[in-house]
Structures are given as structure tokens and as C-alpha cells.
Amino acid sequence: METGDNLSIIDKYIANAKTTGGVVTFSPSIALEIVNDCKMKQINILGIDGFSITEKGIQPLQEHSMDYTASWSRKLLETSDVWELVIGFITERLNLDIFFEIICNEND
């Protein structure tokens, strides 16, 4: 989505996206770039969802997903910022064959 001359964070990286079943996902390395961009622009990250993508389709991977709006995760955010949590989460998965959907709130 474009606003004036500025592209949204996701649109900025869309050329590097893999869209499967209507879900826009990114490799771990591109996801890290997006998160760092969000951090620099102070754009809140609401969650990250991991997916396995094969020739058969797309499969969500709950063990590689995180909701930063859930009540239990708010405790984590009291001592850490969301961007560092997401960077750590993705970094732990850099060598896995998974893709990430990043949910951010650019309206804050």
C-alpha cells in the first residue's frame, strides 16, 4: 500500500517476497531486513508467522510463529523491545527452510 511517495514496509520488500495461497512471505534474511527497517522507523511488529512452502502448497508452522499482542507476550515486552525479540526469533531460524509473514502496524 502506497502513501504519498512512501511505500509501506512490506511493499518496499515485495520484490523479494514469495506469495503462496495469498500469503506474502519472506526468507529469514529478508525478514531480518524488514524488522530492522521497522525498528529504525519505530513501526510496531504485532506478530510473525512461519510457513513451510513446497510444491504441494503452504503449511503454517505454529512452532515458528509468535503473536506479540497476546497477553502472555506483553510480559516479555516489559523488559525487551519487540524488535529485538523478533530479531532473536528469526536469527534462531536462519538456517531453516521456512518463510515468514510479518504483521506490523504502520498506523501507530
For residue 82, what pLDDT is reported? 84
Dump pLDDT digits (tens) for 38-92.
999 989 899 999 999 999 999 999 999 998 887 656 666 565 688 888 999 999 9
Indicate the number of domains in the chain: 1
* Sequence letter at residue 2: E
Query: The domain spanning residue 98 has which CATH number?
Result: 3.30.190.30
Range of the domain at 26: 2-105
- The beta-strand segments (E) located in the chain are 2-3, 6-7, 18-20, 23-25, 44-54, 57-67, 99-105
Count of alpha carbons within 13 angstroms of residue 47, beta-carbon side: 11
State the pLDDT at residue 3: 40
- pTM for the model stands at 0.84
pLDDT digits (tens, 9 = 90+) for 17-48: 999 989 999 999 999 999 999 999 989 899 99
Per-residue confidence band for 107, with pLDDT thresholds at 50, 70 and 90? confident
> Do 20 and 58 touch, CB atoms closer than 8 A?
yes
Say how far apart CA 66 and CA 63 lie, in whole Å. Answer: 8
To 10 degrees, the CA torsion angle through 94, 95, 98, 104?
0
Say yes or no to pLDDT of 4 above 60. Answer: no
CB 46 within 8 A of CB 105: yes
